Every structure is written in C-alpha cells, then in structure tokens.
Structure 1
C-alpha cells in the first residue's frame, strides 16, 4: 500500500476551493505499484500500467476499402470510358496469386489485399460489364481511391494508449486488433467503506420510528465499483468516536483508502472528525462547495481517509469532485476532470460568492435548436429523488452570484462524473 505522511497536505485556513483541494489531494497521493495481467474480456474499466505500443501496423497490409475492381493508377481513364479485361478475383482473407498487368483489372472485395501493381479501386456500382465480360471503367477517379494503405490507421511502434489510461470498449477493440490477448493493468484499489450514525440502519434490518435506511453506503460502493475498486463494506458504525477510531486503525492496515459517510459536521453527535484526530491526523474538514461543505480529509497510519457528508446529494457531489480524483491518483491514472457542456439556463438562482455550487437539473432541446437546463423544483441535500429525476448538475463557479433565464451555464451529465 502507498503510504503518505501525516503532514503532507499542510492545509491552512478554514475552507479550501474545490479545485485547489482536489489538485492538492491528487498531488500528494502515491500510486500503487502492483501490476497484474488481465484478459481482454476483463479489461474494460481497468487502468493501463504501461504504455500500449503497436506491435504491428493497422491495417497490416494494403487492402481494398470497397467491393469493386482494382487497377493500376497509370491506366486510369482520363476523358472517356475504357474497357478492361478482368484478370482474376481476390476475396477477403486470400492473397492474390497474380499481379495486375497494364490494361487489366481484377475483381476485389472489401478487406482483400491489393494485388501487386494495383493501387486504385473502382466501386462496383460505378462500373458496367459489356457482353464479352470486360469491365467498363469511367473517367475521373484519382489514383489511390478506395484503398486502405498499410499502417494508415496505426503505425508499427506507435504509442496508441498512455500509461494510466482508463480502458474503454473501443480501447479493448484496438488492443484485440493489434493482437493482444491480455493487458498489463494496475491492481484494483482496496477501499474500506462505512456509514456512521445511530439514526440509520441497514436495509432489511428492523427500523425504529426515528431511523432511516442507510443508502449512502450502497451508492458509494456502486460508484467505487465503476472505478474498478475492491470494496470492503464495514457496515454502519454507531456514534462512538472511540469505536470509530479503532475501526479506522483496523481498516488502514489492509486498505489503500478509507471512505466514510456521515459524522463530519460540527454537531455533538458528529464523531468521525474526533475519531480521525484520535487515530491519525485531520488535515482539513471544510471545502467551499455546496452541497457538501463538511468534507474531512485525514491520514490514518499513512493511509488517506476521506469523510463525506451524510446527506446523499452532498455525498454524491463530493465523491465525484474529491474522492474520484483521489482514487485516480492512487491508481496512477491521468486526472480527467469532467468536461462541462454550455447550455442555456431556464431558471433563476442566487448564491454566495467564493463557493462552487452544483444545481440538480434536467436538460431539454428547445424550439430554436439549443439546449436548456431546468432546475429541480425543490432544494435540499437529502433529496435522493432529485438525483434520480435529473440528468446532471449545473456547475456555478465561485465568481457567480446570480443566474437568470437565458444566461449560459455549464452542465455536467451524471455519466461524466462516474
């Protein structure tokens, strides 16, 4: 496991901007070094440990891009239609036996290797055949038309994917096309997750009249799974700072990251902050973000801890903007900030300067062809339904204090945050 020092963050001041916080966390966390080989069918979502270099060109041979007739560029008709004898036939998967000689053409199919001497292909729908079996080729085609040159997609020895890249289905397809059967990836990050609070119980357990079913733990576990983490579910811990401190020390001995939900605010029953200070070092606990201001960052025996708020919307938002960059740093991945989409605001909203705010919204096309964001009608960081019923978050930067209908705002789809 990667170890960090208790004072490596050296945070000062009461509250940090979100971008500065995420960048500082990512810069201080060391990536795990262990590497494992996985088959292509299991590679999606994993993080490359080494740069992928092409062991062969793509395509590996020059071939036809269409069904048609292959000819020599020197023989292309210039002004009038010209008849050519058909010298043979080349199907995909077979090598041509004979070259194309002057005045000849050869029947060829998509993906078939170009016969020697030929460098241009006429599409079959652009030609005709006369009564003696000769092919009539029209003028106007340029040399090299409808031909895929060897290596035009990927050159031999080209670096096609960098180390730290998170593999996608199209990346797996490229690896297969290059002949790989397995890829070297970073091992999965081991994350311990627990919720805190006497007011929550696990789904399926008996719920008291003043209790809620725990939802954050399941949401965070699902979000971690999308980042290919191995998750240890430590369940729900009661509001007892000594018990929580003990569990933190135990978790630090076998995990790369500890992720908690709840208990990081300033109330008397918010015990995570005190437990972190008892078991290790608390390096910050407030971030200039809404929802989600109470976020704790700590170090327990050299292992980072991130304490997220208990309100589910705040937990979701802070995971996306703080925990996710930390996990990418731990796996040695490139930091990939979500790319916002500029849309038109269809709502009014006021906020404090100096704080980043995220407004739950839906986006729809308007009559003029633009896209407009409409705000979820109710406020509250505890409204799980607001995450389910919306498309994403409108991001309002620190300098913004007011939004009116028609203003341009940045929209982040939920898919870009996971």
Structure 2
C-alpha cells in the first residue's frame, strides 16, 4: 500500500487555464458624447480590489489605515506614575499647607513614613504609599536633606493613574483610522509591535516615447514634457501613500511597447502609462496591449486631458491607467483617476473634499466639460478667496504653483468674479 494511501502511479495534471477577466460594462457617454469624470472614476474603482492586509511593523505602518479595531490587552500606564518632575509625597502631609509657613518634609529614597518626599521624574513609577506629586516650582530644598512645600497638594495631584491613557479592553483605534506618529506611539506604548494594515500599493509610472514619430526639432520639447509629467505623477502617487517606480521606454513598434509594459507587471499593483494614447484605440499603445488583457479607450468630459484608457492586463489582471504625456493633462488625469485608483487599492475613500471659495477673477470653460482650473487660495476676513492662475491651455507653470483646482462642472460654462465655486486642495501645501 502506498504511504499515506497515495497512488504510486503518476497522474497527469492538466494545467489550469488562466482566468479570463473582462472589464465591467462601460459607462454610457454623457449628452455631449463623452463620459463624465464621475462615471469614469467610479467605473475604474469598481474594478480595483483592495490589497490584502497583513501584520505590519509599526514603523512601516505610518500613514496607512488600520484594518481592524485594536483592543488594549492591558492598562496604560500599568502603574501610577508621576505626571511632572517633583517629589512624590503622601497627600495627608501636604493637604492643608499654610502658604506663609509651609511644611517641611524629609527627602528620602522611599516613602516609608509620614513627612517624607521622594524625587521623581516625569513618567517615573510612583513609590509605594505615595499618592501625589509636589511640582519642583512649589517647593524648595533646604540643606540638601529637607523639602519646604509652599502649597497644598491633594491626593492624585500630578499623578497619571492606572489606565488613564488606555484602559484594559478599550478600543485604542478603530478600523479605518489613519496611523500617524502620535497614534503609533500610543499603540507601541500599549505593547503592540505590529498592526493589521494593507501594504502601500506598488505603482509604476511608465513614460512612453515612440521613436521616430517626431522630428528632431520637436524631440527636445517632447522629452521635457515626458520628464515633467512622469516626475509630477510619480511624486503625486508617492504623496498618496504608494511605493513608486518611475520608468521610461523608447519603442518603435507595438512589440517593444508590449515588452516595456509586461516587464513592469511583476512589481506593479497599478501601472500608469504616459503617452501613446493620442489616437485612442487605433494607437500604438492599444495595439501593444492587444492580447495582454481587456482595454478601453474613451473620450472624457475633462479639460485638460480629454482622452484616457484603462485596462486589466497580464495574468494578475493588473490595472493600467493610460494618460497623455502633456504635463497638465497627465496631472489632471492622475487627480481625477489615478489617485482614486490608489485609494481603492488601499481600501480608503477616494473623494477629495471640496471647499467653497469666492472667485477674485472670472473663469470660463466649455459647456458639458468638467474644467480643472489651477488656482491659489487666500484666507481673508470674509472667507476663502481664489485667484485663477492663467496661462495657455495645459501650461505647466500654473499647475506647478497652484494650491489646487477650481472645479467648473459639466453644467457650468463660466463663473464670474465674486461667485462661489468648488475648490479641491491638493493637501501637500
């Protein structure tokens, strides 16, 4: 009989066929023939699954969101401790002190009898028997051995009681809480060295260049655009909490583009390509991705950045977001779709809160199109005011120097000075 009942005969195992994953039904175009920003964003995020959480060291978890309620399994502090530097005392000795005469205590190493005081530092465990701390500025040392206390001190004064920071069994932090340094300090103090979090999404920003497509005269400008767009998007993705790689590829045919893309899939939870989408579904990028997975190209009611693509490629169905190489278009596309995609991977809310601001100058756009207009915001006695930053359409300078975008929605073609308008701050200034 075979060991553990296993058959000695070799059994041919048919390799599993790779799962074929399709895109969700695409949103219908709006009344002007292009998909709305909101519909496209929600459609993309619906196909991105949050990363699997795991136990993570506290330092690695900074800035991430907790994936479970964290319950204390002990009190913090575990023992009463001094809340200030001074002298631990028995409160009955200093409860009713005449400020003019004071009370003299003996400085000792232990509170072993009445009328004694023990020097303590902040956070020092209280000596057994002591129940209050006399602050340094409320007493004077006499002859190095005695302490003149000049004010009354009640029981419990300047003492951190057991469980005053965290009580045993209480919730230290709820699921969904962002772990900042102060909260991590509390968690570490409560005895935890790991927390359950989703990892930082691995994002690859790949700038594509079609060799020979442009004349030499325009090549320098094109390289400047690629550098500006890729550094801007990669930095923004890192600011959103992702682990980021920035890459460039020079290719002259679809096979070379496909190789450049597939080379990055092994380390990507999200791939953002810049360039190669000018011709949409008829372009080189679309041809390169044929056979790698389902892709979709569409006009979007967004300015700047009217065309984009999305797909799920490779055996692991890695989401790929395809944006233009123009810096302003690339960044608005990232803000509208890339940052929400990263948030979806992290399992967090992808909405940036909009604030109402008052315009200091008029703005105009195209009817039926959502305009992202760079602006600087100033706080004034009568509220927040926004100054739109002007420049040619798609200019890099206004985007580089703005505090965020004014959002002129699809239903508004213009807004006048003095009007209230939605403003979305980037949060990095």
Cα distance in 2 between the residues matched to 1:372 and 1:74: 60
C-alpha separation in 2, matches of 1:46 and 1:18: 27
- What is the alpha-carbon distance in structure 2 between the residues aligned to residue 220 and residue 334 of structure 1? 20
Moved over 6 A (4+): 129-132
CA distance in 2: counterparts of 1:17 and 1:142, whole angstroms: 66
Q: Deviations over 1:341-395 (max 9, x none)?
A: 55443222133565443221223454x48543322131422x2222333333334
Distance across 2 between alignment mates of 1:156 and 1:184: 20
Q: Could you tell me how far 1:134 is from its partner in structure 2?
A: 5.0
Q: 1:318 aligns with which of 333, 349, 356?
A: 333
Say which of 27, 37, 41 aligns to 1:18. 37
Shift of 1:220: 3.0
After superposition, the C-alpha distances for 1:13-52 in whole angstroms (9 at most, x for unaligned) are: 3544434433443333223337475573x55456666665
The 1-side partners of 2:76 and 2:286 are apart by 55
Which segment drifts farther, 398-407 or 59-68?
A: 398-407
Aligned to 1:209: 217
Distance change (3 Å), C-alpha of 1:231 and 1:399? same
Q: 2:12: which partner in 1? A: none
**Aligned alpha-carbon RMSD (Å):** 4.2
Evaluate the alpha carbon distance shift between residue 11 and residue 144 of structure 1 in structure 2; reply closer, same or farther with a 3 A threshold. same
TM-score by length of 1: 0.75
1:361 alignment counterpart: 375
1:45/1:228 contact within 8 Å kept: no
User: Residue 100 of structure 1 contacts residue 115 of structure 1 at CA under 8 Å; is this kept in 2?
Assistant: no
Aligned length: 399
Distance 1:71-1:369 versus aligned 2 partners, 3 A rule: farther
Q: Secondary structure at the match of 1:295?
A: strand
The residue matched to 2:218 in structure 1 has which SS? coil
State which structure, 1 or 2, has the greater radius of gyration over its C-alpha atoms.
2
When the two structures are superposed, what TM-score results if normalisation uses the length of structure 2?
0.73
Structure 1 position 312, deviation (Å): 0.8
C-alpha distance in 2 between matches for 1:35 and 1:269: 42
> Does the 8 Å contact 1:284/1:296 carry over to 2?
yes
Task: Provide structure 1 residue ranges, at least 5 long, that are not aligned to the other structure.
Answer: 91-96
Runs of 5+ in structure 2 lacking a partner? 1-17
Do the aligned residues in 2 keep the contact of 1:193 with 1:235 (CA within 8 Å)?
A: no
Instruction: Check if 1:403 corresponds to 2:415.
Output: yes
Q: 1:333 to 1:162 in 2, by over 3 A?
A: farther
| Cα offset, 1:106, TM superposition | 4.7
Structure number with higher relative contact order (C-alpha < 8 Å, ≥ 6 residues apart): 1
Q: Which residue matches 1:93?
A: none
